[in-house]
């Protein structure tokens, strides 16, 4: 099965069919104009020549028509599979059956992508277990939430300090633990500044650390009460380097001026 552009296929069909019919009429006219044959014999030969070209044109028309219908059916089936994949699973042995050789290649592609997704899923589950292990063994009191303020993880240091349990904190909102925190306002500030934000709640100083993805979007927020945690940010690191370099340059200039 070959998938090509419909417009190109139609243009190619018109050119081939027109050339066949043109050659047939050209041969018909030449045979009629030849010498040495009687009128009936000459006409019979010309009609035979034209008949063969007409048959050739009919075969070409039928072939191109069948190919066009085949391409259209494949396109429709692929569109149906794309729409179906948004709501349900795709079964290669069943849904790729009518695609011929293209279906066999799609089966192989689907199998490779599915195996890759399984490996990624296993890696993500391992990372989730790693997060749980770290939270169960870290003494720093902290909570991890998503962008909606739903608590995903709580450290053993936090549960010990506030006499709570992981089950009570899991899936609850951060504003139910620290009442002065307003999630929409906090997320707007974290997204704008890309640096930790400090909030006071019930005489407790809470530092909110944004966790960004590769697109610099905030995916998680880490809340640490009463303590400071190590925090790295690409923009902050760059500014620190510039500030450090300027400090070194200033010291060097002062040292040179003293020598003068």
Rounded to the nearest 5 degrees, what angle is found at the Cα of 214, between the Cα atoms of 145 and 198?
A: 40
> How many C-beta atoms surround the C-beta of residue 31 within 10 A?
19
Return the H-helix or E-strand segment holding 125. helix 101-137
Tell me the CATH number of domain 138-227, given options 3.40.50.720, 3.40.50.300, 3.20.20.70, 3.30.450.20.
Answer: 3.30.450.20
**Domain residue spans of the chain:** 1-34+42-88, 89-137, 138-227
Encode pLDDT of 110-166 as tens digits.
Answer: 888 888 888 888 888 888 888 888 888 888 898 999 999 999 999 998 888 888 888
pTM here? Answer: 0.55
What pLDDT digit, counting tens, does each position of 205-241 carry? 889 999 888 888 888 999 998 877 777 665 444 444 4
| Alpha carbons 152 and 223: distance in angstroms, whole number | 12
Instruction: Give the residue, 198 or 243, on which the prediction is more confident.
Output: 198
């Amino acid at each position: 099965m070959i998938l090509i552009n419909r417009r190109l296929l139609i243009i190619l069909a018109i050119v081939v069919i027109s050339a066949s019919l043109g050659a047939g009429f050209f041969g018909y006219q030449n045979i009629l104009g030849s010498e040495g044959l009687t009128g009936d014999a000459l006409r019979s030969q010309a009609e035979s020549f034209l008949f063969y070209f007409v048959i050739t044109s009919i075969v070409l028309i039928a072939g191109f028509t069948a190919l066009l219908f085949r391409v259209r059916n494949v396109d429709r089936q692929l569109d149906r599979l794309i729409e179906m994949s948004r709501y349900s699973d795709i079964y290669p042995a069943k849904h790729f059956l009518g695609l011929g050789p293209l279906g066999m290649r799609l089966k192989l592609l689907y199998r490779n992508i599915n195996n890759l997704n399984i490996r990624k899923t296993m890696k993500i589950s391992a990372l989730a277990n790693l997060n749980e292990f770290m939270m169960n063994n870290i003494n720093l009191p902290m909570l991890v939430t998503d962008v909606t303020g739903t608590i995903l993880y709580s450290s053993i240091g936090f549960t010990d300090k506030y006499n709570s349990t992981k089950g009570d904190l899991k899936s609850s909102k951060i504003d139910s633990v620290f009442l002065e925190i307003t999630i929409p306002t906090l997320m707007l500030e974290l997204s704008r500044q890309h640096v930790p934000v400090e909030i006071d709640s019930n005489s407790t100083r809470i530092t909110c650390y944004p966790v960004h993805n590769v697109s610099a979007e905030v995916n998680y927020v880490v809340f640490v009460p009463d303590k400071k945690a190590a925090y790295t940010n690409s923009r902050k690191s760059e500014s620190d380097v510039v500030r450090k370099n300027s400090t070194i340059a200033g010291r060097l200039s002062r040292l040179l001026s003293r020598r003068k």
